Structure 1
Amino acid sequence: MAQQAAPVGTMIGDRIRVPRTRIRVGVSRRDITPPVGIRAKNWGPADWERSEGVHRPFALTALALIGDDGRPRLLLAVDGTWWRRVADEQGVRGAILDGLGLEPDQLMLSLSHTHAGAVLCAADAHLSGGELIPGYLEALAAAGIAAGREALDGAEPGLIEWAQGRCALAADRELVLDGRALVGFNPAGDADDTVVIGRISVGGRVRATLVNYACHPTTLAWQSREVSPDYVGAMREIVESATDAPCLFVQGASGELAPREQYTGDVSVADRHGRSLGHAVLAALDALPAPGDEVTLDGVVESGAPLAIWAGRPAEADGSASGTTTSVDLPLRDLPTLDELAEEWKDIDPRSREERLGRARNLREGYIDGPTVRHPVWAWRVGDAVLLGHPGEAYSRLQRTLRARFPGVPIVVMNLTNGPGFVYLPTREAYDRGAYQAWQTPLAPGALDLLEEHASRVVAELLGR
């Protein structure tokens, strides 16, 4: 199917209204590149455990938002893998909250989900390279505090103007081959190609770009021994070179989405993927009028044909802000014991078996404490837009559903944000296929449906609908 350019605004009378937010904004960044030698074994087939180099630097970028309610809100976009234990996520986020004097509803810490980063699990400190993990987690918290404080203290009146682009990088990764469900490019599958972009400006000058896209950063796998932000690194370089301002990336609802070409050790492939997304972002940004303007019908000039003249004119922007932290009860499926899993996986190679068992063990610590689990959701309204984050790995239907139910509203949907609850939320069809995401998650079929309905109610309430 041919891709169509996304609209940059809504036609209202004689003007094209760009969704925008007038708000105090602050931006700050810290380098969080993991030290060489840290444990970076994120794949079962890996026959190595310590990183041996760095492909591209890792970044923690803070975006402070202070609307007309006067309540500061802080988004931390972090190049990182995923939390393997509730205790580690709570330790890092809790230290940042304490260090900045914020309440839990005021902070969203969102991981990019690179699969070529440091292991974020202090319980692995006894393993090769693991001795560097506790110190790295402390450094993450310190970077979050320092960048957050700088962003909050430096916040000044600005604008966020929202655009939507398209990028063909993401593809469906649920391939069925000879009756077996695999995790890899499915040429017959459909993929959400939406990129949501926020251009953040102060006094007419771009201060930052917020990019929300759903695609697993799984380009680089066990063959690469360098830590890497995957495609996010090259994307960031492309956008920052063009805008001369920091770029924040937040992972969308990408449970079933990944690049077509992945599981490689060739870093040039990750860079190529990043350029693809970066150019899509720039194309959408270039379709926006100048900061603070909206395109307005300025008159008609008679020529060989009557010419409609459109020009940029200053526009008003909404400065309202609100937020909420809620949770939804999600059902659990009947879970096999760890012994039963070990027996089920006894015939696969030992390294992969231990990786699977370790993930299953970590999922049971701190998240599951009854017949259902309380899955948290954070949501902020900032002017015309809504930012919604949760800690799971929802399928892209979550973001498609929200955007369809609230047309014209920029909705930033973020997986892997805050915690606890680092679990897949697949569609019912994925369970029927026996997809990896379905048998790996402790959640029962229907959990995604419940999250969608809950998130829809939360967004409706924030928008006053």
Structure 2
Amino acid sequence: MTSHSMPSTTRLGDRLAVPRTSAGIGVAVRDITPPVGIRAKNWGPADWARAEGAHHEMTLTALAIVPAADPGAGPTEAVAGRVRVMITADGTWWRRVADEWGVRGRVLAALGLEADQLTLSLSHTHAGPVLCAADEHLDGGELIPGYLESLGDAAIAAAKQALATAAPGRIEWARGRSALAVNRELDVDGRALVGYNPQAEPADDTVLVGRITSRAGETLGTIVNYACHPTTLSWQNRLVSPDYVGAMRQLVSAATGAPVLFLQGASGELSPRQQYTGDLDVADRHGRSLGHAVLAALDSLPAPGTELELAGVVESGAPLAMWEPAQAAGGEAIAGCCDAVDLELVDLPTLAELEAGWADIDPRSREERLGRARNLRDGYIDGPTVRHPVWAWRLGDAVVVAHPGEAYSRLQTTLRARFPGTPIVVANLTNGPGFVYLPTQEAYDRGAYQAWQTPLRAGSLDRLEAHAIRLVAELLDPAQ
């Protein structure tokens, strides 16, 4: 990371260790920009349904990570072992279990992977196409089933290419900071709103960056993990867009000559200050601000495959400590699991009760809320508790913790504080089922949107955190 731990007494030969993942690495990208006219109505106030074009290209990127002993074995042999495939895609959110599994299940079957070997993460842009085949009957919805099919095709093709081209390489991890995200829990005249709260404590500003390089030092890609809702663009905008992720990706890709995998962090209560606009320039400005933070983190790393060593002392006007690059290795351990935690449900109102409770709001907004509630119940809620899955991977010196919900940022700050020497990637909106908010107790107490929208009882975030801590501890110390 950019802050290095050292012994209390420094000696010649000591090193500033760079956390790394050493493995066979393959990266592949596909364009998943949807067709003009697809349904992209993600906001209640929108008086339109069909997208009229694209702001930036929407992409899907696959990263294959093959354990160091396996590169060269080929994808068929490799998938039988500890290979991991990470797929990131510009997408909104899954609204039904069947749609998510329709894509991810196809990828697992096509690659012969087990459930714990694949993550499919959405960026959570609110300006993307609707990912819900049940909306086929609505304006623009006739294009959704075909788009979901093409999304699965793109994921399979990219993953196969990434596996087939995997060659010895490394991911080196650094931490940066970005002020893009702020707390979006604002109380005005006794009402809980969703918008920038200038009185709140500063938001988690961590940008976790992974520089992906070949053994020869060629940049193959960049992993960017940051927590901030992509809600810059809203109902005034009629173009599909990756929101701020698009301009960030353009800036970083232009500087590095390589693709970018964006993983949306634990951002349940985080967003940009300025949002809910149709101004594309605002989204691009947000993206550039994050992109510069990513580039700064990348520039904090030494040359690929090296770390700084205290090599000697040069006598000048002062005795000069000479920290010089030295070849480095390590980070070969690859392991992972998928393990679910039981979470309790609230006493859910019926759809009729919800409709009556929302009778006084705008009809378009009411129908949007009812549609989300209807879809949430389909294939997910069938008892007093739900099984919430968590994917935990050890990638050398780093750990990935991913789940399908929208956890508050406390999930990532808790994990990183508990394991301070380990780069921990935390990804919301990954795989499924469980596309629900996991708010803090404070959010329930103030009646926040995220708290009354989720079917989960207060305390679910605490249980998720405890579960994730246990999984990470077991990965880092399997003997415990």
- Normalising by structure 1, we get a TM-score of 0.98
**Partner residue in 2 for 1:61:** 61
CA–CA distance in structure 1, aligned partners of residues 368 and 292 of structure 2 = 36
Deviation at 1:41, TM superposition (A): 0.0
SS of the equivalent of 2:23 reads: strand
**Partner residue in 2 for 1:197:** 209
Q: 2:251 aligns with which of 232, 238, 252?
A: 238
CA–CA distance in structure 1, aligned partners of residues 337 and 370 of structure 2 = 35
Q: 2:362 aligns with which of 346, 349, 356?
A: 349
**Partner residue in 1 for 2:342:** 329
C-alpha contact 2:19 2:331 (8 A) present in aligned 1:
no
CA–CA distance in structure 1, aligned partners of residues 126 and 98 of structure 2 = 20
Would you say 1:11 and 2:6 are equivalent positions? yes
SS of the equivalent of 1:38 reads: coil
Q: 1:167 aligns with which of 178, 190, 202?
A: 178
Deviation at 1:298, TM superposition (A): 1.9
**Partner residue in 1 for 2:74:** none
Q: Deviations over 1:47-66 (max 9, x none)?
A: 00000011000000000001
CA–CA distance in structure 2, aligned partners of residues 68 and 439 of structure 1 = 47
Q: 2:169 aligns with which of 139, 158, 175?
A: 158
Deviation at 1:302, TM superposition (A): 1.9
Q: 1:405 aligns with which of 399, 418, 442?
A: 418
Structure 2, unmatched stretches of 5+, are 70-80
C-alpha contact 2:406 2:437 (8 A) present in aligned 1:
yes
**Partner residue in 2 for 1:269:** 282
C-alpha contact 2:22 2:68 (8 A) present in aligned 1:
no
C-alpha contact 1:211 1:281 (8 A) present in aligned 2:
yes
Give the AA of the match of 1:28: A
Q: 1:445 aligns with which of 444, 450, 458?
A: 458
Give the AA of the match of 1:62: A
Q: 1:423 aligns with which of 426, 433, 436?
A: 436
SS of the equivalent of 1:11 reads: coil
Would you say 1:187 and 2:182 are equivalent positions? no
Alignment map for 1:271-310 (pairs within 5 Å): 271-310=284-323
Deviation at 1:11, TM superposition (A): 2.6
SS of the equivalent of 1:186 reads: coil
Alignment map for 1:244-259 (pairs within 5 Å): 244-259=257-272
C-alpha contact 1:120 1:133 (8 A) present in aligned 2:
yes
Q: 1:149 aligns with which of 151, 160, 166?
A: 160
Would you say 1:339 and 2:352 are equivalent positions? yes
Q: Deviations over 1:56-91 (max 9, x none)?
A: 000000000012474221000100000000000010
C-alpha contact 2:178 2:290 (8 A) present in aligned 1:
yes
CA–CA distance in structure 2, aligned partners of residues 123 and 224 of structure 1 = 24
Deviation at 1:10, TM superposition (A): 2.7
Deviation at 1:386, TM superposition (A): 0.5
Identity of aligned residues (%): 71
Q: 2:104 aligns with which of 93, 113, 117?
A: 93
- Normalising by structure 2, we get a TM-score of 0.95
Q: Deviations over 1:164-186 (max 9, x none)?
A: 00000000000001110000001
Superposition CA RMSD, Å: 1.0
Deviation at 1:391, TM superposition (A): 0.2
**Partner residue in 1 for 2:45:** 45
Would you say 1:35 and 2:30 are equivalent positions? no
C-alpha contact 2:2 2:301 (8 A) present in aligned 1:
no
C-alpha contact 1:379 1:458 (8 A) present in aligned 2:
yes
Q: Deviations over 1:305-361 (max 9, x none)?
A: 222221111012121110101000001111111111111100001000000111111
CA–CA distance in structure 2, aligned partners of residues 440 and 123 of structure 1 = 20
Q: Deviations over 1:346-381 (max 9, x none)?
A: 000100000011111111111111101000011110
**Partner residue in 2 for 1:371:** 384
Q: Deviations over 1:94-152 (max 9, x none)?
A: 11111112111111000000000000000000100000000000000000000000000
**Partner residue in 1 for 2:188:** 177
**Partner residue in 2 for 1:3:** none
Q: Deviations over 1:389-438 (max 9, x none)?
A: 10000000000000000011000000000000000000000000000000
CA–CA distance in structure 2, aligned partners of residues 269 and 311 of structure 1 = 42
Would you say 1:128 and 2:139 are equivalent positions? yes
C-alpha contact 2:63 2:85 (8 A) present in aligned 1:
yes
**Partner residue in 1 for 2:235:** 222
Deviation at 1:448, TM superposition (A): 0.2
**Partner residue in 1 for 2:73:** none
CA–CA distance in structure 2, aligned partners of residues 81 and 395 of structure 1 = 18
